[in-house]
Amino acid sequence: MKKSTFVLIFSMVLWSVVLIFSSWDQSVLNTIDLEKILMPPSSESLFGSDDLGRSIGPRIVSGARLSLFVVIIVLTITSVFGTIIGILSGLVGGKFDSIVMRVIDIFLAFPGILLAISLAGILGGGLHNVVLALSAVGWVGFARLSRAQTLRVKQLDHVLVAQLLGTTTPKIIILHVLPLIVSPMLVELTYSAASVILSEAGLSFLGIGVSSPTASLGSMVRDGSFYLMTAPHYVILTGMALMSLVFLINVAGDRLQEKLAEGYSRNIN
């Protein structure tokens, strides 16, 4: 195994252990201790305290859990919905396909984050609306990719044969198309996870995401940035935590893509 792969796996295991095994007790998160306001990291509190004297470490853990929770929900919604739309569009073709393509064009005409910001802003913050806004933006990528992949797979002999034999469309999709487009979709899934984490944090940073006192990495970065001069540890530690999450997911995506590309060229040669 390469040394960098080892580091990657080690960091992922470390994050998982922290996320799973550190305390799930919600009451610690919001204990306000005015004696400890903006205390820098010490042996007593590894990550120091925030502007209300709450311990930063547990709040980072809780914020990261929230990020992953949002990622799982949003990706489940967007990947299932987007993939179904994309495969159908590619397989059925005709009028349906051109309508779907136009809708995708329109969605791509907005910068995604702007659409999410305006949706969350107008509907009001909160977990529900964040998930709604990010899902409304996120399905497009999956739809576009799965459509393109389906157009490729559709030409293959086994799909044509299945169609000639009168196999029903749902069966063709599940048995003959889906297995062949899974790998590129997995890569898309990884990169989307990174972008959902960043978007959720971005919305919370702007104050239109998950509302306080729930700990979100984005709102913690914002709170921390008010105390840049006096307590830089707040914004730096939270920022680093967010960054390392996204970094790990991005690296995993890169690795996955390389692996798939290798497998692909092996199959051709």
Partner 1 sequence: MGKLESVFTRVITAFIVTICVVTIVFFFIHLIPGDPIVAILGEQAGLQDVEKLRTQLGLDLPLASQWIQFITDLVVGDLGFSFYYHAPVAPIIAKSTVMTFYLAGAAFIIAASVGISLGIVAALYQEKVWDRLAVFVALVSMSIPNFVFGPILIIIFAVKLQWLPIGASEGVLSIVLPALALGLSLAALTMRMTRASVIEVLREPYILAIRAKGLSQSRIMLAHVFRNALLPVVTTLGLQLGLLLGGAVITEAIFSWPGLGSLVIESISRRDYPMVQASVLVIAVSYIIINMLTDILYKVLDPRVDLGS
Nearer to partner 1 (CB atom), residue 4 or residue 26: 4
Residues between 179 and 198 with contacts to partner 1, criterion CB under 8 A: 194, 198
Contact present, 138 and 78 (Cβ < 8 Å): yes
Stretch 43-82: interaction string toward partner 1, x if CB under 8 A: ----------------------------------------
Contact between 109 and partner 1 per CB under 8 A? yes
Residue 10: which residues within 8 A CB-CB, separation 6 or more?
none
- Cβ of residue 261: shortest distance to partner 1, in angstroms? 11
Distance CA 58, CA 29 (A): 6
* Region of residue 260 (phi > 0: left; psi between -120 and 50: alpha; otherwise: beta): alpha
Q: Which stretch binds partner 1 (CB under 8 A): 59-67, 81-89, 148-156, 218-226?
A: 218-226
The residue from 121, 169, 212, 260 that contacts partner 1 (CB under 8 A) is 121
Contact between 137 and partner 1 per CB under 8 A? no
- Cβ of residue 108: shortest distance to partner 1, in angstroms? 8
Contact between 12 and partner 1 per CB under 8 A? no
Distance CA 100, CA 249 (A): 30
The residue from 13, 24, 102, 161 that contacts partner 1 (CB under 8 A) is 102
Contact between 252 and partner 1 per CB under 8 A? no
The residue from 211, 247, 256, 257 that contacts partner 1 (CB under 8 A) is 247
Q: Which stretch binds partner 1 (CB under 8 A): 29-37, 98-106, 162-170, 171-179?
A: 98-106
- Cβ of residue 147: shortest distance to partner 1, in angstroms? 15
Nearer to partner 1 (CB atom), residue 9 or residue 228: 228
- Cβ of residue 171: shortest distance to partner 1, in angstroms? 31
Query: What residues line the site for partner 1 (CB under 8 A)?
Result: 102, 105-106, 109-114, 117-119, 121-124, 194, 198, 201-202, 205-208, 218, 221-222, 224-225, 228-229, 232, 235-236, 238-239, 242-244, 246-247, 250-251, 254
